Amino acid sequence: MTASPHLFTPLTLRGLQTRNRIVISPMCQYSAHEGHVDDWHLVNLGRFAIGGAGIDFTEATAVQKRGRITHGCPGLWTDSQIPGHARLAQFALRNGAIPAIQLGHAGRKGGMQRPWFGNGPLNEADFERGDMPWTPVGPSDLPVAEGWPVPHALSVTEIGNLIDDYVSAARRALMAGYRIAEIHGAHGYLVHSFLSPLSNKRTDSYGGDLAGRMRLALEIAQAVREAWPDDLPLFFRTSAVDGVPDGWSLEDTVVLAGELKRIGVDVMDCSSGGIAGAATASGGQKRQPGFQVGYSERVRTEVSMNTMAVGLITHPQQAEEILAQGRADLIAIGREALVDPMWALHAARSLGYDTLYETWPEQSGWWLAGREKTSDFYDPEAVT
Ligand SMILES: Cc1cc2nc3c(=O)[nH]c(=O)nc-3n(C[C@H](O)[C@H](O)[C@H](O)COP(=O)(O)O)c2cc1C
């Protein structure tokens, strides 16, 4: 090993230490059965753990059955879902990655099409496949857009039950062996839809001004924090901006982050968008390299808390610079990990941290080091 890049400097979060700063961002697979994960999820997440990631996130996992985004989304609303998750968590842990889970509720986006069938509200073709609609819930009876189902506006009693279900799901996640929990407060789903003035038109104590709209997020965070062990970290994913006039703003995010920090949230995971337009990036925002890093930087600077940057971070040098410039503490890799599940191991080599496959799994590193020392490789440039 020749260098000590920031990307491979461990981070201590409460009683945990990550092996590096690379996080596999939560990515829905739409492939669960009645909310149960299976071998697909094990192999999918397993490849990232073998691939050297520091933290390996299981996708948005519903705390209530009606909180699934699609019929293929996993859950932790009942005990029978724990063993499947336990396999994912144990495999990651055994292979050096910290298993993490994102706990979510789809809210008014609940019961939509799997992306490859259209990414819109369910239609006749989905019904024929057996994907029947359910009544989604939200802060108000405002649909996502025209043609989407009208959500049931949650009563205060139902909000109380929802918070209890977050706590129960967190307890199940802990039983399964996850070491990090993240509250999904982004992308237009339930928690975000309470935060945003575009979707929250309530006139009771869960709506109105910023404090009212933040109340659900803070009550969930507080309740989960109390249930989650003191020595384990809690993350919160935010849509830092709606990117739409009169929507949720970066200033609002800074206030929210401050409150979450006070409650004991350890990392603010800074995404954007989802209330209007694209699901995981703010409206009008051009998707260019590191397009959301500025949100992470602002929260990190103004709130003095750990942040995670996400969004088109694809190159090891790019990730290294973000950390070196103090713009984030963790780097989440999403789609690029689908291109290269061993992104972290390749990054170690390209940053000079690993010269002879020392950081690779022992099952392969030993052989590859030997090959490197003893073999010539095909060179397409060579003249024959
Ligand atoms: C297939 C897929 C599924 C996703 N599912 C989730 C999810 O479950 N929860 C979430 O917060 N974001 C989800 N996202 C967003 C990613 O976590 C990430 O924020 C986004 O892809 C931007 O990062 P990237 O440019 O590195 O892919 C998903 C993205 C993809 C491509």
Which residues contact residue 242 at a Cβ distance below 8 angstroms, ignoring those fewer than 6 apart? 196, 198, 248, 249, 272, 273, 275, 276, 282, 283
310 in ligand 1 pocket by Cβ < 6 Å? yes
Query: How far is Cα 207 from Cα 200, in angstroms, rounded to an integer?
Result: 6
**Residue 69 near residue 115, CB atoms below 8 Å:** no
Query: How far is Cα 99 from Cα 90, in angstroms, rounded to an integer?
Result: 8
Give residue 280's pLDDT. 59
Give residue 281's pLDDT. 59
Give residue 327's pLDDT. 98
Q: Which residues of 138-177 are buried (b: 16+ CB within 10 A; e: fewer)?
A: bbbebbbeeebbebebbeeeebeebbebbbbbbebbbebb
18 in ligand 1 pocket by Cβ < 6 Å? no
The closest residue, in CA terms, to atom 23 on ligand 1 is 311
Helix H segments across 95-155? 124-128
Our measurement of the distance from residue 161's CA atom to the centroid of its chain's CA atoms, rounded to an integer in Å, reads: 24
Q: Is the dihedral of CA 14, 29, 284, 186 positive or negative?
A: negative
**Could you identify the atom of ligand 1 that is nearest to the CA of residue 102?**
9
100 in ligand 1 pocket by Cβ < 6 Å? no
Extract the residue ranges of the chain whose pLDDT is less than 70: 1-2, 277-284, 384
Give the residue extent of every domain in the chain: 6-353
290 in ligand 1 pocket by Cβ < 6 Å? no
The closest residue, in CA terms, to atom 2 on ligand 1 is 27
State in Å, rounded, how far the first CA of the chain is from the last one: 35
Q: What is the pLDDT of residues 298-346, one digit of tens each?
A: 999 999 999 999 999 999 999 999 999 999 999 999 999 999 999 999 9
Give residue 308's pLDDT. 98
271 in ligand 1 pocket by Cβ < 6 Å? yes
Task: Cite the active site residues.
Answer: 189
The closest residue, in CA terms, to atom 14 on ligand 1 is 27
Q: What is the distance in A from the centroid of ligand 1 to the CA of 28? A: 7
Give residue 2's pLDDT. 58
Backbone angles phi, psi at 271, to 5 degrees: -105, -160
**Residue 292 near residue 331, CB atoms below 8 Å:** no
pTM for the model stands at 0.97
Give residue 127's pLDDT. 96
Give residue 181's pLDDT. 99
Query: How far is Cα 6 from Cα 8, in angstroms, rounded to an integer?
Result: 5
Q: Which CATH number fits domain 6-353: 3.30.43.10, 3.20.20.70, 3.40.640.10, 1.20.1050.10?
A: 3.20.20.70
